[in-house]
Structure 1
Amino acid sequence: MDTTPCAGQTRAANLTGFSSYARRKGADPRRILERHGIETRALTDPDTHVNCQSLVDVFEYCSTIFEDPLFGLHFAAGQAPEVFGCITALCRSAPDLRTAISCLIDYVPIVHSPEAALELVESAETAELRWGVNSNLGVNDQANQQALMLIVKLLRSVGGPDFALSHVEIAVDARPSDVAEIEDIVGCRIRNRAPNNAIGFPKHALEMPIPSANRLLYRLLGGYLDRVKQANRITLTDRVRNYIRGALPTGTCSIERCADKLGMSVRTLQDRLAHDGGSFTQVMEQQRMTLAEIYLRRENATLDEVAEWLGYGEQTSFGRAFKRWTGTTPRKFRQT
Structure 2
Amino acid sequence: MRHLGTASVAAMRQYVRAATSAGIDAEALLGQTGLTSAILESDEGRISGEQLQTFIHLLSERSGNPILGLETGDFVQPGTYSVLGYITMSCATLAEAVARIGPFEKLVGDMGTTQVMGEGDQIRLVWQCAYTDSIVRPHLVDNVFASWIKYARWLADDPEASPAKVLLERPSPGPEYEKAYSDRWHCPIQFAAAENAVVLERSLLATSLRQPDPLLRKTLEAHAQNQLATLATDTALTTRVKHCIQQQLLHGITRQDMIADHLGMTSRTLQRKLSLEGVSYQELLDEVRQKMAEEYLTRSNLPIPEIALRLGFSETASFHRKFKSSAGVPPGEYRNEKKARNHPG
Pick closer, same or farther for the CA change 1:96–1:64 going to 2, 3 Å.
same
Say whether 1:224 aligns with 2:239.
no
Q: Give the deviation of 1:126 after TM superposition.
A: 1.1
Pick closer, same or farther for the CA change 1:185–1:49 going to 2, 3 Å.
same
1: CA distance, partners of 2:236 / 2:64: 43
Which of 128, 138, 142 lines up with 2:139 in the alignment? Answer: 142
Partner of 1:300: none
Partner of 2:47: 50
Partner of 1:165: 163
Partner of 2:91: 94
Partner of 2:198: 199
Could you tell me whether the CA contact under 8 Å between 2:129 and 2:141 is conserved in 1? no
Pick closer, same or farther for the CA change 1:187–1:47 going to 2, 3 Å.
farther
Partner of 2:100: 103
2: CA distance, partners of 1:78 / 1:24: 10
The amino acid of 2:228's aligned partner reads K
Q: Give the deviation of 1:141 after TM superposition.
A: 1.8
Could you tell me whether the CA contact under 8 Å between 2:122 and 2:201 is conserved in 1? yes
2:27 aligned counterpart, secondary structure: helix
Say whether 1:128 aligns with 2:124.
yes
Q: Residues 215-236 of structure 1, C-alpha deviation per residue, up to 9 Å, x if partnerless? A: 1111111222233334544462
The amino acid of 2:227's aligned partner reads V
Q: Give the deviation of 1:207 after TM superposition.
A: 3.4
Say whether 1:78 aligns with 2:78.
no
Which of 252, 258, 261 lines up with 2:276 in the alignment? Answer: 261
The amino acid of 2:80's aligned partner reads V
With 176-185 and 9-18 compared, the bigger mean Cα shift is at: 9-18
Which runs of 5 or more structure 2 residues have no equivalent in the other structure? 242-259, 289-345
Could you tell me whether the CA contact under 8 Å between 1:170 and 1:193 is conserved in 2? yes
1: CA distance, partners of 2:132 / 2:10: 21
Aligned identity (percent) is 15
Q: Give the deviation of 1:127 after TM superposition.
A: 1.1
Partner of 1:37: 34
Q: Residues 292-323 of structure 1, C-alpha deviation per residue, up to 9 Å, x if partnerless? A: xxxxxxxxxxxxxxxxxxxxxxxxxxxxxxxx
Could you tell me whether the CA contact under 8 Å between 1:13 and 1:46 is conserved in 2? yes
1: CA distance, partners of 2:125 / 2:12: 23
Q: Give the deviation of 1:26 after TM superposition.
A: 4.0
Pick closer, same or farther for the CA change 1:83–1:156 going to 2, 3 Å.
same
Which of 46, 64, 68 lines up with 1:67 in the alignment? Answer: 64
Pick closer, same or farther for the CA change 1:205–1:79 going to 2, 3 Å.
closer
2: CA distance, partners of 1:183 / 1:266: 46
1: CA distance, partners of 2:147 / 2:72: 10
1: CA distance, partners of 2:110 / 2:22: 32
Q: Residues 78-123 of structure 1, C-alpha deviation per residue, up to 9 Å, x if partnerless? A: 33242002211211212322221111111011x1113420111110
With 50-59 and 156-165 compared, the bigger mean Cα shift is at: 156-165
Aligned-pair RMSD on alpha carbons? 3.3
Q: Residues 136-194 of structure 1, C-alpha deviation per residue, up to 9 Å, x if partnerless? A: 34331222222112111222233343843211112323222212211111221111122
Pick closer, same or farther for the CA change 1:55–1:160 going to 2, 3 Å.
same
The amino acid of 2:47's aligned partner reads V
Q: Residues 32-91 of structure 1, C-alpha deviation per residue, up to 9 Å, x if partnerless? A: 122133343233334322222332332233223222111222222133242002211211
1:86 aligned counterpart, secondary structure: helix
Written as runs of structure 1 = structure 2, the 5 A alignment for 1:311-326 is none
Which runs of 5 or more structure 1 residues have no equivalent in the other structure? 1-5, 274-336
1:16 aligned counterpart, secondary structure: helix
Could you tell me whether the CA contact under 8 Å between 1:80 and 1:153 is conserved in 2? no
Could you tell me whether the CA contact under 8 Å between 2:46 and 2:277 is conserved in 1? no
The amino acid of 1:91's aligned partner reads T
Q: Give the deviation of 1:23 after TM superposition.
A: 4.3
Could you tell me whether the CA contact under 8 Å between 2:94 and 2:209 is conserved in 1? yes
Partner of 2:188: 189
What TM-score, normalized by structure 2, do the two folds share? 0.65
1: CA distance, partners of 2:287 / 2:53: 27
2: CA distance, partners of 1:149 / 1:27: 21
